[in-house]
A and B are shown apart, each in its own frame.
Chain A
Amino acid sequence: SAVISQKPSRDICQRGTSLTIQCQVDSQVTMMFWYRQQPGQSLTLIATANQGSEATYESGFVIDKFPISRPNLTFSTLTVSNMSPEDSSIYLCSVAGLAGQSSYNEQFFGPGTRLTVL
């Protein structure tokens, strides 16, 4: 399995500011994803982070609001820009395709970053 860490684990931010969330994996992975979980809701996929190219965003999510970087096979960042209270959620990093594995059957999730926007 993969060990995934996220920083920060939680934060309280003022509206209009931006926050960058970091995701670090203990081994190289092919796929990295970012999800959002709003209070009391299920997980929603924001985007797939692609190494060396722009992230692939799901419907309803745009690069200007959620810029994503993926400089290598073990690290990615998600920025939540110009925040509003509606952005208060848990943001989760997820990975699949561990080095040496032939499939992406298992997908692993980080502990999440709990964001509160005032």
Chain B
Amino acid sequence: DAKTTQPTSMDCAEGRAANLPCNHSTISGNEYVYWYRQIHSQGPQYIIHGLKNNETNEMASLIITEDRKSSTLILPHATLRDTAVYYCIVRVVYGGSQGNLIFGKGTKLSVKP
């Protein structure tokens, strides 16, 4: 079973920031938080990942709470092309190996004009 909880769906106005929450209250010390998204009829796309510090890349920002029990993915200026299902996944990382990606149901984000 997935170890994360996400809202089923969210709406966001085009041009606004989209803030997608994720709860992972049972996360352990060797687990990272990953975000992927799946646009309709395509394979999932990697967005960002982090351990405990906030992370930012060209696609999004990831804010992880100090206790690591929850996180928020931020799309700073959502466009219609950001409409997709967003998956928050916790994944074991130890030594030189990573655990498998286990997908939950995700959040369906609809960006509206």
Contacts and interface: CB of A to CB of B under 8 A. Distances in A.
A103 B98 CA distance: 8
B43 interface: yes
Nearest to B46: A106
Interface residues of B, number: 19
A112 B105 CA distance: 18
Nearest to A44: B103
A98 to B, nearest CB: 12
A107 interface: yes
Contacts, number: 40
Nearest to A33: B100
A109 B102 contact: no
A95 B101 CA distance: 11
A71 to B, nearest CB: 22
Contact of A108 (B2, B46, B96, B103): B46
Interface of B: 2, 32, 42-46, 49, 87, 96-98, 100-106
13 contacts: A4-B43, A33-B100, A42-B105, A44-B103, A45-B100, A58-B100, A103-B96, A107-B46, A107-B101, A108-B46, A109-B44, A110-B43, A112-B42
